[in-house]
Each structure stands twice: as C-alpha cells, then as structure tokens.
Copies of this chain bind each other. A is one copy, B any other.
Amino acid sequence: MPHDPAFAALRSVLGDRLSLSKPDLEAHGHSESHFPPTPPDAVAYPETTAEVARVVTICAEHGLPVVGWGAGTSLEGHALAVRGGVCVDFSRMAGVLEMRETDMVARVQPGITREALNQELRATGLFFPVDPGANASIGGMAATRASGTTAVRYGTMRDNVLALEVVLADGRIIRTGSAARKSSAGYDLTALFVGSEGTLGLVTELTLKLHGQPEAIGAATCAFDGIEAAVEAVTETIQMGLPMARIEFVDAATVEAVNAYARADFPALPHLMVEFHGSPAGVAEQAERFGEIVSEHGATGFAWADRPEDRTRLWQMRHHAYWAILAARPGTRAIVTDVCVPISALAQAVAETQADIAAAPIPAPILGHVGDGNFHAILLMNPDDPAERAAAQDLSRRMADRALRLGGTVTGEHGIGMGKLGYMTAEHGPGWDVMGAIKQALDPARVMNPGKMVRQD
C-alpha cells in the first residue's frame, strides 16, 4: 500500500482506532447526498484533541488529505474524501465537557448530536435551539454554518457558537473566542472557522450559546391561496416585532405528500406554520395578533394550539414533510436545493421556481424557512434516467442563478461541499479569491478537506 508508512505512524497513535476495514471505509464514503461514493483510505477515531493534532501532523507529513466526519447528514457531500486520505470520525469525541448554567453556555465536543445535547440539557431549563431537521453533529453543524426552522428567532450556528478549539493544518491547536458574550479583540476567527467546512482546520471543541427553555409554546397553522399573500403576512408579522420562534412555508405539493404519507386531510393549499415562545400571556397575545394579520391577508383554516399534543398534530405537516416527499415517489433520489433570497424577492423566487417545476418532467415539492427567505425544492429524480437527472440539474441550476439575480445566495444553510462549488465565482466574484488567499495562508499544502470550497488547481 502506498500509504503504509503513514498508516503505521497513525496506528502508533490510535492503535485499533485506525480502521482500514472495507465496510468502515464504505460507510464513510457516502452521506445523505446524491454524489457518487468516494471512500477514504482510512478512518481515524480519535478520543482527544492531542490525538487529532497528531493525526493531522502525520497526514501533513505524508501528504495525506484529512476530512472530518460528524453524523454523515451533509446534503452537499462535504465529508466525502474526494482525494482519498484519512476520515477523522468524531464519534468518540461526543461529550459535554462543561455546563455553565449561569453563563447559559455549554462546552462540547464536535461529535455530540444536537438531540443528544438537548437531552443532556433537559434538566437545566436551557436548550440549544439550532435545528436543521436531521440529527446532525454539532461539529458538522458548525462546519456548514447550519440553521433550520428556529433561525428566525435564535439565529444560525454563526450566532450560537461563542468559541472554538481548532487543530490547524500544521497540527497547531488554537482557541478562538471565549465564554464572554462578545469581544472586539481582533479578527473574528470563530466566525471564520464556522462555515469553513473543515478546509482550514478541524474543530475539536465548541462553546455554545444556550437559551432558556420557553415557559410557554404556542403554534398555529393556516392556508393561503398563493405564496404572495403568505409572504406578505410574514413580512408584516416581522415588522410588527412579533418574535416568531419558527415560521415555515410548505407548498400544495408538500401538503399532498403529507396527506398521503400521514393519512391527514390538510387542504391542498400553501400553508404557513408558526410557533411562538414566551410567557403564557405573551404567547397568547402574539398568536392573537398573528391571527389578525394572516386573516387580513386572506388566510383560511387558522388553527391554534398551545397543548403539546395539539402542537404536534399541527406541526406534523412540517415534521413529516421530507420523508413524505421521498415516499411520494419510491425509488427516486432527492436533490435538495437551498437558495436564500431577500424577503422582498421570496414570493417571486418561489413563483418562478414553481413555474419551472410545472414545466419539468419531475416533481419537486417546495418548503422553507420563510422568515429567513430560505427555501428548498426537493427534486425527485430517478438517478438511472439521464433525462430526469438532467432535468433535476437544470432546475437546481436555474434556482441558484435566480437566487443570485435576486440578490441572494446559492445556499442558505446546507453549505458548498461538492454541490455548490461551481457557483462560487458567480456569487462572490473576486471575494472568492480572498477565500483562496486565506486557505493558502492557513493550509498551503492543502491537507484539510482538499477539493472543496476554494478554486481548484
């Protein structure tokens, strides 16, 4: 094997926590994305930051790429070892290192999943709000700058990571930020590493901002005749200062898929789902005001719930949506698009996308985080049918081009990975070269997740 000396050195650090087994390599060669499998040459299971630093140092010495691995839920192939090398699996670095309830801060390892973290937080009265849907690892969520349904109220990973420990490409270990709520002390390295997709270093520890579990939660849902009225209602709600904890949009195609999947009977119309967090009186007042606003915009079927079981019923439309959509066309694979536009352009972006989809040979239900201007079309294609594959790629490309034309971004929360690399020049212009200069400065040998993020040689 060409990598034998490197593997011997890695084995001296990790023992049998360096795996070369075929099933292990294959399991780390694909994620929840539509890209062809590309297994790494080895999988490392470090247990400490020092071990991660040793692994990176050895890989750098031997010219082996290093790719981080969290929960394998990436939708853009971030963790695929497209140039081979060592996959660093953080499943053995998945603990809560420190819980600081007074500071509303937790120091965690990157492998912990968001559900496991919130389970550990349950008794504290605190929670970590970022919710991308999948039970992703916190390290992976930081790497992709993930967000999800609660970003409209609680922000994205950008807003909820206070500090990091990072192993750099040369094996140095740095700490960025602190448990203080803010700082003006120099370049914001925390923000630089959040969203860097493992291309500048491996995150080995995160200090997260926690939030108080809401005393009361209320949820509501309602239907609209079209997307324009729904977006106008949301815009007005935001401008009124009503603090929505979630505000989600699903189109009629999504509702039909959910009805079939969950034996529900929601009207086949675009819907909004909203959630409020606060005091009982505050939540009730917000729900009432929201009801007034949406009814002025022609909403029908307004239903409100503050008991957990009723909320669950109302939100089943959203929670089941992804699986319901996949089940609507068995045997297909999904390309999940992820554009984000200024709110003023959202209705136009959705309407034009729906017109594209109507003219395409594949179905593509739409759902999204309407308070952020971020929406997804789930492009359901038969991967063995070249025409469907081409149609999906065409829809995806047209959505990305449209998002940029409307002043938005090709990815609101899924990241660049393999899937969006081709849009970096269009989105950033010479700013992409600045990213390349930073990559060159911090990882000149291109050890960290090569083939991603920056211009390729």
Contact = CB atoms under 8 A, between A and B. Distances in A.
Interface of A: 100-105, 125-126, 144-147, 151, 155-156, 158-159, 168, 172-176, 178-189, 191-192, 194-196, 200, 211-212, 214-215, 235, 238-241, 243, 277-279, 281-282, 285, 289, 338, 340-344, 371-374, 403, 407-416, 420, 423-424, 427-432, 434-435, 437-438, 440-442, 453
A182 B374 contact: yes
The 7 closest A-B pairs by CB, nearest first: A191-B191, A441-B441, A183-B409, A102-B344, A179-B342, A174-B431, A180-B408
Nearest to A282: B282
B189 A408 contact: no
Nearest to A289: B279
Contacts of A429: 174-175
Residue from A188, A214, A373, A438 with most neighbouring chain B CB atoms (10 Å): A188
B194 A188 contact: yes
Nearest to A372: B181
A340 B181 contact: yes
Contacts of A172: 430
B192 A413 contact: no
Nearest to A235: B102
B125 A180 contact: no
A288 B179 CA distance: 30
A243 B188 CA distance: 26
Contacts of A191: 158, 188, 191-192
A388 B410 CA distance: 57
Contacts of A413: 182, 184
Contact of A184 (B178, B192, B240, B414): B414
Contacts of A241: 211-212, 214-215, 277-279
Nearest to A414: B184
Contact of A341 (B180, B407, B423): B180
A76 to B, nearest CB: 9
Nearest to A194: B188
Contact of A189 (B101, B182, B411, B435): B435
A188 B104 contact: no
B344 A189 contact: no
A57 to B, nearest CB: 14
A215 to B, nearest CB: 7
Q: Which of A179, A185, A413 gathers the greatest number of chain B CB atoms within 10 Å?
A: A185
Nearest to A453: B186
Contacts of A215: 240-241
B438 A146 contact: no
A146 to B, nearest CB: 7
A342 B100 contact: yes
B238 A212 contact: yes
A192 B195 contact: no
Nearest to A284: B281
Nearest to A406: B180
A344 B282 contact: no
Given A182-B412, A188-B194, 20 more contacts: A104-B238, A104-B343, A145-B184, A146-B184, A151-B181, A159-B159, A178-B409, A179-B407, A180-B407, A183-B409, A184-B411, A185-B409, A185-B427, A186-B416, A186-B432, A188-B192, A215-B241, A241-B279, A243-B243, A437-B441
A344 B240 CA distance: 34
Contacts of A415: 184-185
Contact of A411 (B101, B168, B183, B435): B183
A181 B104 CA distance: 25
A174 B434 contact: yes
B442 A437 contact: yes
A362 B427 CA distance: 55
A435 B340 CA distance: 30
B188 A145 contact: yes
A146 B184 CA distance: 7
Nearest to A181: B372
A420 B429 CA distance: 35
